[in-house]
C-alpha cells in the first residue's frame, strides 16, 4: 500500500509547486482535525478560487480574438506602443500573433504590472510561444519631425511589417495603423481588453525599458533607468545641471526650457497638463 503523503509534501506539491490538487483532497483535509490540515485546505481553496478568477479574466480578454478565430481568421496580431509621454528616447511599438486559444497567466495591461522583472518574464514567454512577434521603433528625430502621434503610428507600422508571419487581421490599441493592407480594429483601452494587444504592449514596454536602462548606464547622472525619460523632477534637474543630450526630444516643452528656447505655439495655447502617475 503506497505511503500517504505528509502535509509538508502536499504543501510542496500543490501550493509551492505547479501541480493541481486532485478532486477530493480539500474535502479530506477539511475532515482532518489537525490545524495544519485545516490551514492547508483553506490555502488550497484560496488558490483554486484565484485560478478560476484568472481563467475567467483571460477568457474575457480573448473575446475579440475568439470572434475572429471563430470566423476562420487565424493570425490575429495585437499592436500597441510605449513611450508617448517621455521627453527623451524613442517610441517603440510591439506586435504579437498569439496561438489560437492561447492564455498566459498574468498577462494584462502593462500599466497594471508594476514589477519590471514580471514584465520581462511575460515578454520572454510571449517571444517563446507566439506564432510571430516583432517590435518597431521611431526615434527622437522622427518624433520632433512629425509629432509623437504620427511617430507612434510609424512605429506600429514598422512592427507589423517586421512580423515573420503576415497577420490576417490587426487589433490595435485605440487607433488604426496606416499603410498596411490588413483589416483592423481599434479598441479603446485595448491593452486591458485584448490579450493580443496586451502582448504587443508588453513587448513594446520591455524593449523600450531595456533601451532606457542602457542609456542610464551610459549617462549615470541622468537616471534614465529610473524615470525612463519621463519629465520627473530628477530628470528636469539633470537636464538643468548637465545639459540636453542628443536623444532628448527637442520639440518638447521641458527640453526647450532646458535649452533656453521659447515654447512652441501648441504649448502656448495648450491647457495646463493634469498630474500623471507613471
Q: Is 246 helix (H, G, I), strand (E, B) or coil?
A: coil
Task: Please give the Cα distance from 105 to 121 (Å, whole number).
Answer: 11
Model confidence at 232, in pLDDT bands (50, 70, 90)? very high
Angle between helix 195-218 and helix 116-129 axes, rounded to 10 deg: 120
Kindly provide the b/e burial profile for residues 212-241, where b requires at least 16 CB atoms within 10 angstroms of the residue's own CB. beebbeebeebbbbebbbbbbeebbebbee
Q: Which three cell numbers stand for residue 136?
A: 518597431
> In the chain, pLDDT over 90 holds for what percent of residues?
69
Nearest-5° angle of CA 258, CA 261, CA 264? 110
Q: Is the pTM of this model over 0.75?
A: yes
pLDDT in tens, 110-157: 888 878 999 999 999 999 999 999 999 999 999 999 999 999 999 999
Residue 3 has pLDDT above 90, yes or no: no
Cα(135)–Cα(75) distance, rounded to whole angstroms?
17
Nearest to 52 by CA among 100, 105, 131: 105
**Counting beta carbons within 10 angstroms of the beta carbon of residue 195, is it exposed (0 to 12), middle (13 to 18) or buried (19 or more)?**
buried
Of residues 41 and 89, more confidence is placed in 89
CA distance 92 to 44: 41
Cell of 171: 487589433
Q: Report which of 267, 120, 122 is spatially closest to residue 206, judged by C-alpha positions.
A: 120
Checking if the pLDDT of 72 tops 70, the result is: yes
Is-contact 240 247, C-beta < 8 A?
no
Q: What is the dihedral of CA 171, 172, 176, 179, to 10 degrees?
A: -80
Predicted pLDDT of residue 18: 65
Instruction: Assign 3-class secondary structure to 95-117.
Output: EEECCCCCCCCCCCCHHHCCCHH
Task: Give residues with Cβ within 8 angstroms of 202, minimum separation 6.
Answer: 94, 107, 110, 113, 119, 122, 123, 126
> What pLDDT digit, counting tens, does each position of 90-102 carry?
999 999 999 999 9
The dihedral sign for the CA sequence 256, 257, 258, 259: positive
Amino acid at each position: 500500500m503506497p505511503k500517504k503523503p505528509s502535509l509538508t509534501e502536499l504543501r510542496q506539491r500543490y501550493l509551492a509547486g505547479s501541480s493541481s490538487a486532485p478532486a477530493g483532497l480539500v474535502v479530506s483535509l477539511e475532515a482532518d482535525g489537525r490545524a495544519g490540515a485545516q490551514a492547508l485546505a483553506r490555502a488550497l481553496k484560496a488558490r483554486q478560487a484565484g485560478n478560476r478568477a484568472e481563467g475567467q479574466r483571460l477568457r474575457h480578454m480573448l473575446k475579440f480574438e475568439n470572434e475572429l478565430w471563430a470566423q476562420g481568421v487565424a493570425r490575429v496580431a495585437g499592436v500597441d506602443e510605449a513611450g508617448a509621454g517621455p521627453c527623451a528616447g524613442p517610441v517603440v511599438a510591439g506586435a504579437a500573433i498569439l496561438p489560437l486559444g492561447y492564455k498566459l497567466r498574468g498577462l494584462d495591461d502593462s500599466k497594471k504590472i508594476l514589477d519590471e522583472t514580471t514584465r520581462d518574464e511575460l515578454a520572454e514567454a510571449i517571444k517563446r510561444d507566439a506564432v510571430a512577434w516583432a517590435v518597431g521603433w521611431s526615434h527622437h528625430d522622427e518624433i520632433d519631425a512629425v509629432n509623437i502621434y504620427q511617430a507612434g503610428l510609424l512605429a506600429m507600422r514598422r512592427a507589423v511589417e517586421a512580423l515573420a508571419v503576415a497577420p490576417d487581421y490587426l487589433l490595435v490599441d485605440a487607433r488604426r495603423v496606416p499603410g498596411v493592407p490588413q483589416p483592423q480594429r481599434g479598441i479603446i483601452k485595448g491593452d486591458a481588453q485584448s490579450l493580443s494587444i496586451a502582448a504587443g504592449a508588453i513587448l513594446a514596454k520591455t524593449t523600450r525599458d531595456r533601451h532606457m536602462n542602457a542609456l542610464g548606464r551610459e549617462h549615470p547622472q541622468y537616471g534614465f533607468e529610473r524615470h525612463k525619460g519621463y519629465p520627473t523632477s530628477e530628470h528636469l534637474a539633470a537636464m538643468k545641471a548637465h545639459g540636453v543630450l542628443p536623444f532628448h526630444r527637442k520639440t518638447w516643452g521641458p527640453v526647450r526650457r532646458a535649452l533656453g528656447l521659447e515654447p512652441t505655439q501648441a504649448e502656448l495655447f495648450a491647457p495646463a497638463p493634469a498630474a500623471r502617475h507613471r
